[in-house]
């Protein structure tokens, strides 16, 4: 494993060092080259000028003209150099250092110059520059002599050394600053990660609502936000689970409490008439049925929770036939309160669905339409489809649902009127079971209602499952 806390500072230091020292090298070198080039150019300029002057002069007259001699001395002085003028017989006619005048020089450079080839050499190690130029007679175009210059470049090297020292000092300072920055970056990274890790560890230990540390570093902050989302979901899930468990225990306790009251009142009385026993026992049996119904519904829901849409036993279902079967089964219940059940089919509808589960969902809707209806009311089931969806509408002439309760009716154990639901044998789970099944089919369920006039539940499921 690698640690950002080390990598980032190390990259800063190494990168900084390479850049800075490279920069120093480049600066010093280019300065030195530029200085040397300039020196060579100006010497070359004077040398050409001097050979020109010497070439136009009539050699036989007498030595070197005054003006040229003065310029020679001046150039020699200015460029810290020694200038020799060599005559056609390889004899030194003029030496600005005077010492070698009258002597002969026979060197390859001088001989080449007499042959018409200029010579130039820069000795970087010993810091001097040598130049040999032929002096050509302007009229006869013959080489009449050679101008030899040897100039020291020491002074340039001194100034380069000075520049080098200064640049090195600046580079060292900047490098120090970078090291400092790198160390600071390392500390900042370590602190940020340590704090984020600590706050996550606290949550890991179980305190889900412990505050999360928010870093100013974008990537870490983005990651923390992701964790926060996960946490919120976990908190929500744990809260819903708690609520659900408390609801379940409450729902299960209610029939037991009723049975307890019934049984106790029988026990407390002496010589209870057989009639009363029968009455109470009928009530107790009713409560047991209720308890069974709640447990069955809970089991159905819990099974649905663990089933994904892949687990549906899909087949081509004739929705019309399915609805007719449901209505047939529920007709006796409707007849008890003289409620009319009507089925209306707009067209033949076939959809890919799990017939048992879809039938359970629709049964719950029609059952509710009967349960929450007035005597002599009606329930109408309409089936329609377009090329993508099948639509099943269950409308009733019942008591309706208040506007504010509409968003909650699909929640587990939610009931608008607890007493009425209980009286009609409701568990508060029917609509959540129905909506789970519809969602599993990739569909949707909607409700609209006018209190006192009736409600309409609309189920939409895709004709073909993806």
Rounded (to 5) percent helix, strand, coil in the chain: 60, 20, 25
Return the number of the residue (161 or 253) whose C-beta is nearest ligand ADP.
253
CB of 372 to ligand ADP, least distance (A): 3
Q: For the residues of 391-405, what is the DSSP string, one character each?
A: EEEEEE-S----GGG
Return the number of the residue (136 or 341) whose C-beta is nearest ligand ADP.
341
Q: Is the separation of the CB atoms in 132 and 110 below 8 Å?
A: yes
Return the number of the residue (121 or 250) whose C-beta is nearest ligand ADP.
250
Return the number of the residue (458 or 465) whose C-beta is nearest ligand ADP.
458
Q: Count Cβ atoms below 10 Å from residue 241 Cβ, excluding itself.
A: 10
Which letter, b or e, does each residue of 262-287 get, where b requires 16 or more Cβ atoms within 10 Å of its Cβ? beeeeeeeeeeeeeeeeebeeebeeb
CB of 408 to ligand ADP, least distance (A): 8
Residue numbers of the site for ligand ADP (CB under 6 A)? 364, 368-369, 372, 396, 398-401, 409, 414-417, 421, 426-432, 455
Return the number of the residue (215 or 397) whose C-beta is nearest ligand ADP.
397
- Report in angstroms the alpha-carbon separations of 365 from 263, 414, 441, 443, 455: 35, 15, 16, 15, 11
Q: What length does the chain have? A: 466
First to last CA, the chain: 43
Q: How far apart are CA 166 and CA 163, in angstroms?
A: 5
CB of 266 to ligand ADP, least distance (A): 29
CB of 303 to ligand ADP, least distance (A): 17
Using DSSP's 3-state secondary structure scheme, residue 79 falls into: coil
CB of 342 to ligand ADP, least distance (A): 15
Return the number of the residue (110 or 341) whose C-beta is nearest ligand ADP.
341
CB of 369 to ligand ADP, least distance (A): 5
């Amino acid at each position: 494993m690698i640690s950002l806390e080390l990598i980032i500072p190390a990259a800063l230091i190494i990168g900084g060092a390479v850049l800075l020292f490279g920069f120093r090298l480049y600066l010093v070198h280019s300065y030195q080259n530029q200085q040397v080039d300039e020196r060579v150019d100006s010497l070359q300029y004077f040398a050409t000028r001097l050979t020109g002057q010497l070439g136009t002069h009539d050699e036989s007259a007498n030595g070197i003209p005054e003006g040229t001699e003065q310029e020679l001395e001046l150039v020699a002085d200015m460029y810290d150099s020694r200038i020799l003028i060599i005559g056609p017989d390889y004899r030194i006619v003029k030496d600005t250092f005077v010492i070698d005048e009258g002597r002969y020089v026979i060197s390859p450079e001088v001989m080449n110059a007499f042959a018409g080839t200029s010579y130039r050499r820069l000795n970087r190690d010993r810091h001097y520059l040598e130049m040999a130029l032929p002096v050509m007679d302007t009229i006869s175009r013959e080489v009449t002599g050679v101008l030899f210059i040897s100039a020291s470049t020491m002074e340039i090297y001194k100034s380069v050394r000075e520049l080098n020292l200064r640049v090195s000092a600046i580079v060292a300072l900047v490098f120090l600053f970078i090291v400092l920055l790198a160390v600071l970056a390392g500390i900042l990274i370590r602190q940020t990660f340590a704090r984020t890790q600590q706050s996550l560890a606290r949550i890991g230990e179980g305190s889900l609502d412990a505050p999360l540390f928010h870093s100013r570093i974008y990537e870490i902050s983005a990651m923390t936000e992701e964790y926060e989302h996960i946490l919120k979901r976990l908190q929500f899930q744990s809260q819903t689970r708690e609520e659900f468990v408390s609801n379940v225990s409450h729902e299960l306790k209610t029939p037991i409490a009723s049975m307890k009251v019934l049984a106790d009142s029988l026990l407390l009385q002496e010589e209870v008439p057989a009639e009363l026993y029968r009455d109470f026992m009928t009530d107790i049996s009713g409560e047991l049925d209720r308890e069974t119904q709640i447990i069955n519904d809970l089991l159905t829901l819990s099974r649905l929770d663990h089933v994904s849409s892949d687990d549906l036993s899909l087949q081509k279902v004739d929705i019309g036939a399915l609805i007719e079967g449901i209505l047939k089964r529920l007709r006796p219940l409707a007849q008890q309160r003289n409620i009319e059940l009507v089925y209306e089919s707009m067209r033949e509808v076939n959809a890919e669905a799990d017939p048992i589960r879809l039938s359970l969902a629709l049964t719950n809707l029609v059952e509710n339409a009967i349960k929450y209806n007035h005597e002599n009311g009606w329930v109408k089931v309409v089936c329609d489809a377009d090329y993508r969806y099948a639509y099943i509408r269950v409308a009733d002439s019942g008591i309706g649902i208040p506007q504010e309760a509409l968003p909650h009716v699909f929640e587990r154990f939610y009931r608008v009127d607890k007493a009425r639901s209980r009286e009609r044998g409701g568990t508060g789970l029917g609509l959540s079971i129905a909506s789970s099944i519809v969602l599993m089919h990739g569909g949707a369920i909607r409700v609209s209602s006018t209190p006192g006039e009736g409600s309409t539940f609309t189920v939409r499921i895709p004709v073909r499952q993806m």
